[in-house]
A and B are shown apart, each in its own frame.
Chain A
Amino acid sequence: MSSRASVTEAAPRPGGAAAAGTSAILLATAPTDDGEPAAALACEDTTVLERLLAQLRDLGVGHATVITRPGWEDGLAARLGDAADVRPSPDAAADLRAIATVARGAGGDIVVLSGEIVTQREALAGLLADPRIATGILTGGGRRSALTFRVRTVRGKVMSAASPYHSVKDPTIGFLGVLKVAAADRGGLATAAERLAGLLEPAPDPAWMEELHRKGLQWRVRLATAKARGLVDEGEPEKEGPLERELPEEEPIPAEEVPLDADQEAKLRRRFTVAHEDVPSLLLVGLVRGGTHVSSTHLRRLFWSRPFSRDGVERAAGQILGYDEQKVLLDSAVKPSDGFFTTFFVSPYSKYIARWAARRGWTPNAVTVLSLGMGALAAAAFATGERWGLVAGALLLQASFTTDCVDGQLARFTRQFSRLGAWLDSTFDRTKEYAVFAGLAIGGTQMGQHVWLLAGAALTLQTVRHTVDFCYATVQHQVIGAASQPPLEQVRDVARRRARGAPPRPPRPLTPRRRLRRGLRSWHRFDEWDWVVWGKKAIAFPIGERFAAISLTAALFTPRVTFIVLLAWGGAAAVYQILGRILRSLA
């Protein structure tokens, strides 16, 4: 476990740093319209690149190399002094060879990132200082900035990635230009970089150029749409929200004659220039296609932007100032995938308890044990079988559950992750729940009810439901692990169905399996509405809902009612989830 940063009363500083021996390679190769390095644009009282370097240094990155274009190296070297080695490189292939040389050398983790990124230290820390991520990338979702290429992730693993020359089917999220490569994967990085450099020289394959052309047409259409909607579309902050629908790949795009004004034509030209040299995205494709396990970590609600003009940097600097970083960090410590009750009735205040605990230097494990203690007290109160005991037990159980949420938020907030801590957290959750069942059963017996059988049934149901979750996840991991990657030369991540220009194939017959897939797709279409998603989560009867149901029914009624509610709601959840997963398995 990394040592915690000292925390002061005024500003609890999230802990964690990059692994010892981490070095960085920054690409300051993108130009502004004036032909200057965009990374050297003034930002606050420094430059974008120096700001980024300072953030990396603050995170414990020891050594930094800046790759830039010939003619810019002297200016950059003069500014940076001994903060970084500046190396001139004529083009993307040379960038890749330089990166391969660094990666072939000995050392720790390597971070490869675009030098034009304006973001918060904590966004970088989310990737660099998370000990659970070996090789990984920073991702952000939502409204697509054309300056990011997208990836498809499944359970936090990058399955496929796009680059200027590679496309990805069904992308889930955008790659924000920061790639961390674990020391163990340096060889893989070097191999990928060398292969890519070879493929870019002397000129990329025609199929690659065709893909870039296709992307260019999409950007043209999107710039026109953005204009029509009155959006500022340059390095804008990533907004949460559904992804834009990808234009159909096989159909002719509304073509070159989409009109753009002079300003937009300039933007489009810049996109092409930047895309040609988007080395981080190329490396990501190289690693993923080469079989390296690449994890993804989400930007969550922090700020990210990649501006290429003075205006763009000013806008970004203004927006980043508007962020209350403490608040954003605390919000980011909340688990994004929690259920309705936890999200709306616990996390809004439990995160402040997490901050309070962080200020006092409490460890997540201590909070986990505290939560177990309160759970045991709740069980003891339930066991009295008196009305006051049932009410007190209900309150104690809620307190215990809040504390349980605090430990995870504290761990994420201070980045103190440990394997034992994760084990304790999971095991104690189950222990609390079943101890409360026992307490309620004793209490029910005191009240003259025969509830041990119901308690045993509730325990059986919950354990079976968890076993379904575990085993379904295991099989999904197995399927993900078995997925094979197409060769690096291939543009698309799936086999092309037909050659361009070939006569269209007759429609495939509608087999039961395809019908099922269609049905599931239309089922997921409802997920566009928030309330549908929350409803689906509530049906699944997650822990927050379960504990709330226990507290409410025990305080107002009797243990017998509690068990009947648990069995009815849990039984419905089991049927819903098992049937849904069987259908998805068969599709």
Chain B
Amino acid sequence: MTAVAATTTAPGEPLALYRDDGPLARALGPLLGGVVRVPGPVLMLAAVVPLVAAIALTGDTASDGLAAAVVAWAVLAGGAAAGRPLGGRVRWTVPPAVRLLEYAGLLWLASLDGDAATRAAFVLLAVLAFRHYDLVYRLRFQGATPPRWLGDAALGWEGRLIALWLLLALDLLPAALWVAAGVLAVAFAADCVAGWKRFGRDARPLHFDDEEDEAA
């Protein structure tokens, strides 16, 4: 990567960016990360396993209470991982584990409500996937990242899990999911267009890495 747009947040550690933490995870990180002296990848494993087990064992019949416990554990363990130093040889496993936690969790919570909510959750996941790919591709091809406030407004992965559980408990699905997907889609797309417009105004050398060895 060469130039970095002056108008946007300078990209820090890409792996931290790809986690897409919200305000809660960023607060939990320093709080728990200092106490729980376990490597980040291990914490993420501890966060993912109960969720996957709950999905496998209960499917769409889990009670709201079990869902609450699993979500709370995922947020605590995943949040603690946010506070652990991003060293270690397998540190690259952390962001994919966060994605698995978020997407599988959202899908499962919605499926507890029924087919209509599952369909809305698919659309929400597609919108979130746009953001998460955009984080990677814009950093790679533009050298820039979306503004921090946008990520915070989208609540981060942990905020979205908690919010969806609340909506499920309040029986607001699937309508609330459609609204969330719609609002986020507009926000992410608008930010992306604005980012490219900003980028187009300042000329910079066309020097970027063309990743050619991905599963694509």
List chain A positions with a Cβ less than 8 A from chain B: 1, 131-134, 155-156, 335-337, 417-420, 422-423, 426-427, 429-431, 434, 437-438, 441, 450, 452-453, 455-457, 459-460, 463-475, 477, 540-543, 573, 577-578, 581-582, 585-586
Contact = CB atoms under 8 A, between A and B. Distances in A.
A452 B216 contact: no
Instruction: Please indicate which of the listed interface residues B18, B95, B208, B216 has the most CB atoms of chain A within 10 Å of its own CB.
Output: B216
Interface in B60-97: 60, 89-96
Nearest to B136: A470
Contact of A459 (B111, B129, B207, B216): B129
24 contacts: A1-B206, A131-B205, A132-B208, A335-B212, A336-B212, A419-B206, A422-B137, A423-B138, A423-B141, A426-B133, A427-B134, A438-B123, A438-B126, A452-B122, A459-B122, A460-B100, A464-B99, A465-B215, A466-B214, A468-B93, A469-B214, A471-B93, A582-B90, A586-B89
B74 to A, nearest CB: 14
Given A419-B142, A471-B93, A460 B215 contact: no
Contacts of B215: 465-466, 469, 540-543, 573, 577
Nearest to B205: A134
Contacts of B142: 419, 423
Given A450-B115, A467-B18, A582-B90, A132 B206 contact: yes
Contacts of A133: 207
Interface residues of B, number: 53
A423 B122 contact: no
B80 to A, nearest CB: 19
A464 B103 contact: yes
Contacts of B129: 430, 434, 459, 463
Contacts of A419: 141-142, 199, 206, 208
Interface string B113-152: 0010011011101100110111011101110000000000
Contacts of A420: 141, 196, 199-200
A524 to B, nearest CB: 15
Contact of A337 (B118, B121, B126, B212): B212
B199 to A, nearest CB: 8
B176 to A, nearest CB: 17
Contacts of B205: 131, 134
B213 interface: yes
Q: Which of A457, A464, A470, A475 has the most CB of B within 10 A?
A: A470
Contacts of B92: 468, 471-472, 474-475, 581, 585
Contacts of A335: 212
Contacts of A450: 115
B39 to A, nearest CB: 13
B104 interface: yes
B14 interface: yes
A132 B115 contact: no
Contact of A427 (B14, B133, B214): B133
B107 interface: yes
Contact of A453 (B18, B118, B200, B213): B118
Task: Please list the 9 inter-chain residue pairs (A to B) with the smallest Cβ-Cβ separation, ordered nearest first.
Answer: A471-B92, A460-B103, A467-B96, A585-B89, A469-B214, A131-B206, A456-B107, A452-B118, A419-B141
B137 A464 contact: no
Nearest to B102: A460
Most B C-beta atoms less than 10 A away, residue of A133, A460, A472: A460
A185 B37 CA distance: 45
A355 to B, nearest CB: 21
A456 B115 CA distance: 12
